[in-house]
Amino acid sequence: MSKKLFTPFTIKDVTLKNRIVMSPMCMYSATNEQGFVEDWHLVHYGSRAVGGTGLIILEATAVSPQGRISAQDLGIWDDKHIEGLSHIVRILHSNEAKAGIQLAHAGRKATVDGTIYAPSALAFDESYKTPAAMTVDDINQTIADFKAAARRAKEAGFDIIELHGAHGYLLNEFLSPLANKRTDKYGGSEQNRYRLVKEIIEAVKQEWDGPLFVRISANDYHQEGMTPEDYVSFAKWMKEDGVDLIDVSSGAVVPAKIQAFPGYQVPFSDVIRNEADIPTGAVGIITSAVQAEEILQNNRADLIFMGRELLRNPYWPRTAAAELHTEITPPVQYERGW
């Protein structure tokens, strides 16, 4: 049986050389505090491309200054950001990796100076600021910010865009009844809580015709929160609205104790993939090639998203290939020592 982890995967006109994806992970390394790419980012992302990862998705990249998780986040709210981002894309492409970017707004979990915004004026916990409840004008501006960010991502040459709808940030806050207490058309019913995500997808697709992913938190780990079964409806709507793949994570919309163990989020991906009939990515303490192969062979996900394991080992794809007794082509510079 062929090793599925090292088979190509095509979404629209973009083909990944394997099923290994570097998850977007905040690096807090834009020390200029203006969101610009620095040399560190070039080395960090480029090394994973050299290591053989098929798709590399840049960290949560803010669509507005007040949408940053921290003042050290990368930004895409200004055309001046395009040059640095395009440099990363060129490095990834020159090493046969596809380039993705996660467009993000932190909502009530932003830690920048000034007013922060959320669907409702509820702080995440006592250590966070209380946000301002967004007006309809604020919502419309945010939709415009995502649309403009998609244009910049296209100009920078990215292959894939992911919208960050997970981990308690703005889009997740609108989707979850734990953070969204609105009584207007953006709150209450599932359809209303989904409305902002729908309008952002529609706006992004006016600028972007490439593959579009959405990262979700499929479980709020709270008795009054969202479950994977609840997210099946959202995933079906996302598919209807033109989303190509759901990146299935979980948690962090409210403080909650999470029992984490190897593959603990894979069942959520399985439910979304097979009940909503949409491709998914599985993520969460996936560390071995055999574990990744099982997930793919049993149709529990279509892509394997890896975070900390790729931080520990930029050459994990090589390790995985050896574990699965599969030959992969090394970079030309490494051929003699491979």
**What pLDDT digit, counting tens, does each position of 5-29 carry?**
999 999 999 999 999 999 999 999 9
3-state secondary structure of 301: coil
Q: What pLDDT is attached to residue 2?
A: 66
3-state secondary structure of 256: coil
Residue 205 domain-assigned (yes or no): yes
The set of residues, in sequence order, having a beta carbon less than 8 Å from that of 307 and lying 6+ positions away, is: 22, 23, 25, 283
Assess whether pLDDT exceeds 70 at residue 208: yes
What's the burial of 1, exposed, middle or buried (CB within 10 Å: 0-12/13-18/19+)? exposed
Residue 3 domain-assigned (yes or no): no
Which pTM was predicted? 0.97
Q: Which of 219, 173, 230 is CA-nearest to residue 196?
A: 173
Residue type (1 letter), 52: G
Residue 337 domain-assigned (yes or no): no
Residue 17 gets which letter from DSSP? S
Q: What pLDDT is attached to residue 1?
A: 53
CATH code of the domain covering residue 196: 3.20.20.70
**Mean pLDDT value across the chain:** 97
Helices assigned H by DSSP within 14-169: 39-50, 82-94, 136-156
Number of structural domains found in the chain: 1
Residue 230 domain-assigned (yes or no): yes
Residue 281 domain-assigned (yes or no): yes
Residue 98 domain-assigned (yes or no): yes
Q: Which of 58, 68, 52 is CA-nearest to residue 19?
A: 52
Q: To 10 degrees, the CA torsion angle through 133, 135, 138, 142?
A: 70
Structural domain containing residue 215: 11-330
Give the span between the Cα atoms of 264 and 258, in whole angstroms.
Answer: 10
Each residue's pLDDT tens digit, 300-315: 999 999 999 999 999 9
Residue 270 domain-assigned (yes or no): yes
> Are residues 158 and 101 in contact, defined by beta-carbon separation less than 8 angstroms?
yes
Which band of pLDDT confidence, cut at 50, 70 and 90, is reported for residue 332? Answer: confident
Residue 336 domain-assigned (yes or no): no
